[in-house]
Amino acid sequence: EDTDLVFITAGMGGGTGTGAAPIVAEVAKEMGALTVGVVTRPFTFEGRRRTSQAEEGIAALGSRVDTLIVIPNNKLLSVISEQTPVQEAFKVADDILRQGVQGISDIITIPGLVNVDFADVRAVMADAGSALMGIGMGSGKSRAREAAVAAISSPLLESSIEGARGVVLNITGGSDLTLHEVNSAAETVYEVVDPNANIIFGAVIDDKLQGEIRITVIATGFTGEAQSAPKSVETPLNRRPIAPTPMPPTPKVEPKSRPGLDIPEFLQRRRFPRGPKE
């Protein structure tokens, strides 16, 4: 009771998380809490049955939370090395969930350069439906823009955040984080989302990040087209199938009934024209 924000995290596809998460979400939302689901979709190698159960669980959870962020574990294959052990890979997946939750909670609970009111976060995430999350790191002279670009083009994103109408932006850096860097990162995100998007951003200080900046972007409020799969480019050659050029029908040759078949004289003249008369 009296809880403003509830996070529900689970690895979908098994029994506990898939079955319990929707029930917990329903209770939390009935109590008036802003309910956010942050879950993972199983690796393909975990089998079709687990994948099917995960999709059913994600659908059930999506109808009971305000915002649902789904992290596809398969996307992790592009951000971890080939030598990463299986157990370590699952730890990476769990840490991504943690970063998603922390990216939202920190800008509310931790005082920073730019503080965010919970009501602002609720305005963006209440009844928002499906959301995308990107995380980026940056270092060096252009670290703010570098981190922002990495976040909005993160391998974890199943589709582009272009056109998002609601964004929660967390900019975290060490004590050397400047206001100009915050502005640079925010402008980079502004360039790709809807011009009229409701963007809530906070800047948090974490002394562990000296020399680095971490940016977490939660994007919501998509139209159906914005999250659609990339369309194939239509060219003059593939616009429509080219029908084969019709060939004239081959004359039907009547089988000879006997070797000594007589050929009419006018046909003989057509086939074997006579030479000029002497």
Q: Structure tokens of 248?
A: 């004239």
Residue 243 is predicted with a pLDDT of 41
- Please name which of 131, 62, 118, 102 lies closest in space to residue 214, comparing C-alpha atoms: 102
- Please name which of 197, 202, 200 lies closest in space to residue 179, comparing C-alpha atoms: 202
Q: How far apart are CA 137 and CA 139, in angstroms?
A: 7
Q: Structure tokens of 52?
A: 């099917």
Q: Which domains does the chain have, with CATH numbers?
A: 5-220 (3.30.1330.20)
- What is residue 53's three-state secondary structure? helix
| pTM of the predicted model as reported, rounded to 2 decimal places | 0.73
Q: How far apart are CA 180 and CA 138, in angstroms?
A: 15
Integer CA distances (angstroms), 233 to 17, 237, 238, 241, in order: 40, 11, 9, 15
Residue 233 is predicted with a pLDDT of 32
CB distance 192 to 128 below 8 Å: no
Residue 230 is predicted with a pLDDT of 32
- Please name which of 198, 156, 151, 142 lies closest in space to residue 170, comparing C-alpha atoms: 151
Residue 15 is predicted with a pLDDT of 87
Q: Structure tokens of 87?
A: 């157990």
Per-residue pLDDT of the chain (278 residues), as tens digits, is 778 999 999 999 988 889 999 999 999 999 999 999 999 999 888 899 999 999 999 999 999 999 999 988 888 887 788 888 888 888 888 888 888 898 888 888 887 777 788 888 998 999 999 899 999 999 999 999 999 999 998 877 878 888 899 999 999 999 899 989 999 999 999 999 999 999 988 888 888 888 999 999 999 988 654 344 333 333 333 333 434 444 555 555 454 444 444 555 544 555 445 555 44
Q: How far apart are CA 146 and CA 185, in angstroms?
A: 8
